Structure 1
Amino acid sequence: MTHIQNKFTDVLNYIDLHLDDELSIEQLSEIAHLSKYHFHRQFSSYYGISLSAYIKLIRLKRASYQLAFRKSLKVIDIALSSGYESPEAFSKAFSQAIGQSPSKFRQSPDWNCWHNKYESLTSMRVKIRDDKVNDFKVEIVNFLDINLAVLEHKGAPQMLPNTINNFIRWRKENKLPPSKNRTFNLVYDDPALVSPENYKFDICTSIKGSVKENNYGVINKNIPSGPCAVIRHIGSDDTLKNAVNYLYDVWLSSQKRELRNFPLFFERIHFFPEVAENEMVTDIYLPLK
């Protein structure tokens, strides 16, 4: 990374960890060790967005996840933690940014519209958060067989949150919380290499026994025992692809190992919005012979 990239990385990490706090130019410029008289222009020049607009979008991104996936949270609490003094002010800002009111988004989120809004922001964050190759540490482990309850997603990646939401509902009904049951994804496709309608991705939790017949489409699958190369990725899903590409393009080509006939899979250790995006923890497993 360049010198200025390192400075901005510190700022973005701080913002992620302090979304509930007041974030001022003076404070953030000190973290970047840049003059407060120039910091705002440098940030805007590098990213093409003002600092205040960036903070607003990141707060509303977390709010949208809380509305969609954490139904127990009250709208007023989400509004206050997002920096708004009233639900009315929050509703106005959310509607302008996302295209739906908070209550409508909670009831029936338009993820296509949401994705279009945040696509540029995701690209911006990836620009500075690309992991350095030397940061990747690969271990070979013997993964033990595990039984899964699975909801299969097939279709455009941006519609994946709808499948996640359905799986969360099923999981709650069956009392399988992430604190007691491990969370996995079976990753069949690279969204950049398949058409949206053919993209496949499984959302899974560990389970004892068989899945009972249900209206959600949840079924049983299994991750078999066997050796796997594993990388622990810490940070946003925006940069997961860097670690995945490293496993395939760099690590595998340097090893005398062959791949097993089983897809790449993730284990979600800590996930957003329970933790800040830069504190998400995902173990990436590449099955080996």
Structure 2
Amino acid sequence: MVILALMTTIQRITVEYQRRMNTVLQYIETHLDEPLSLEMVAEVAMYSPYHFHRVFRTLMNEPLNEYINRRRLEKAAADLMHRNEILITDLALRYGFSSNSAFTRAFKKFYGVSPSIFRVQLPTKYSKIRIPKSKNGQPDFLFEKYLWSITNLKNWIDMNAQIMITQMPEMELAYVTAIGHTQVAEAYTTLLQWATPKGFMTLPTTKMVTVYHDSFKVTHPDKVRISAAMTVAKEVKEEGVTGRMQLRAGTCIKGSFEITLPEFEKAWSSLFIWMNEQGYKKADQHPFEIYHNDYRTHPEQKCVVDLYIPVAV
């Protein structure tokens, strides 16, 4: 009985840590352009700075300052990807660096290239990259191979997707956080364990949704933050590790697919290429997926899914 009580207590404490971490991650994400000290963030979590530092490092596998610095650099990289008009100097100031040179040093240390070179080499700007030449003056083979890949993706999406511009309504979601792409399945298992006894899975309005808070182009796959989510009514409250979020209404590129699991990367890459080809710019909101079936019951193990990229209008 003592051991069982101890395990129950540990489980309750772990759930409370994870619940508060949901709040902390949302707070950090919306305040990256402001000063963020350990004391400030610990207050959001309602822990002492010393205790919070230990909890954060254990759950996130990196210290708070390192996490904040990484997220600022990744946000800056995302801005370089999607906002041609923004100056690198402005990015340095926006994300709290003391100077342009300090930002450039930190960015180069993290990504291996300077912000200006990163912007030029972006795959999403393939149409604006000048063709590099080899020493003999011939087009570089890797660039030819890259253009071949882009062409293939454009052809693939033409054959495998229905694309449209749509107005998405506001959506209320319950979610479980996954840190790293390998943790998504476990996050969905936890979400279903919470939702099934409540009868949410039998409601005809319930949809399963995956929200990508980070881009695989700028964040390591082991550190991407992904929400395993489902649509719920507004009155549904947070409980345990299951948090609540709201996806704002807005204009989205919608790509409808029927694809296998290994084809998701291809679907997303081709949809972003379509976005750039059509002259759209990604909005400051997270891409997401809405599923319309259980792929395990599909005769070809395919997902019937809509991919959404919020765009600026």
TM-score scaled by structure 2? Answer: 0.49
CA distance in 1, matches of 2:46, 2:262: 41
CA distance in 2, matches of 1:27, 1:53: 16
CA distance in 2, matches of 1:266, 1:197: 12
Partner residue in 2 for 1:55 = 68
Q: Secondary structure at the match of 1:20?
A: coil
Contact preservation (8 Å) 2:28, 2:68? yes
Partner residue in 1 for 2:271 = 202
2:80 to 41, 49, 67: 67
Q: How many residues align?
A: 194
Q: CA deviation at 1:201?
A: 4.0
C-alpha change, 1:53 and 1:200, in structure 2 (3 Å) is: closer
Query: RMSD in angstroms over aligned alpha carbons?
Result: 4.7
Q: CA deviation at 1:193?
A: 2.9
Identity of aligned residues (%): 24
C-alpha change, 1:138 and 1:96, in structure 2 (3 Å) is: farther
Deviations 1:236-280 (A, max 9, x none): 55xx56x63xx4339x98xxxxxxx99532343468xx9xxxxxx
Partner residue in 1 for 2:205 = 139
Partner residue in 1 for 2:262 = 193
CA distance in 2, matches of 1:195, 1:3: 33
C-alpha change, 1:122 and 1:100, in structure 2 (3 Å) is: farther
1:24 to 37, 47, 70: 37
Contact preservation (8 Å) 2:286, 2:310? no
**Greater C-alpha radius of gyration:** 2
Q: CA deviation at 1:35?
A: 1.4
Partner residue in 2 for 1:174 = none
CA distance in 2, matches of 1:129, 1:28: 24
Q: CA deviation at 1:38?
A: 1.5
Deviations 1:98-139 (A, max 9, x none): 11110000110379xxxxxxxx96449969986834488863
Deviations 1:15-63 (A, max 9, x none): 0111111011111111111111211111111221011111111111110
C-alpha change, 1:65 and 1:188, in structure 2 (3 Å) is: farther
Q: For 1:125-204, what aligned pairs fall within 5 Å after superposition?
A: 132-133=191-192, 134=195, 139=205, 182-190=252-260, 192-194=261-263, 201-203=270-272, 204=274
Q: CA deviation at 1:3?
A: 1.1
What residue identity is the alignment partner of 2:191? K
CA distance in 1, matches of 2:33, 2:264: 39
C-alpha change, 1:37 and 1:195, in structure 2 (3 Å) is: closer
Extract unaligned runs of 5+ from structure 1.
Answer: 112-119, 141-156, 161-179, 206-215, 219-234, 254-260, 275-289
Matched, 1:249 2:300: no
CA distance in 2, matches of 1:270, 1:195: 20
Contact preservation (8 Å) 1:184, 1:266? yes
CA distance in 2, matches of 1:87, 1:10: 31
CA distance in 2, matches of 1:128, 1:19: 28
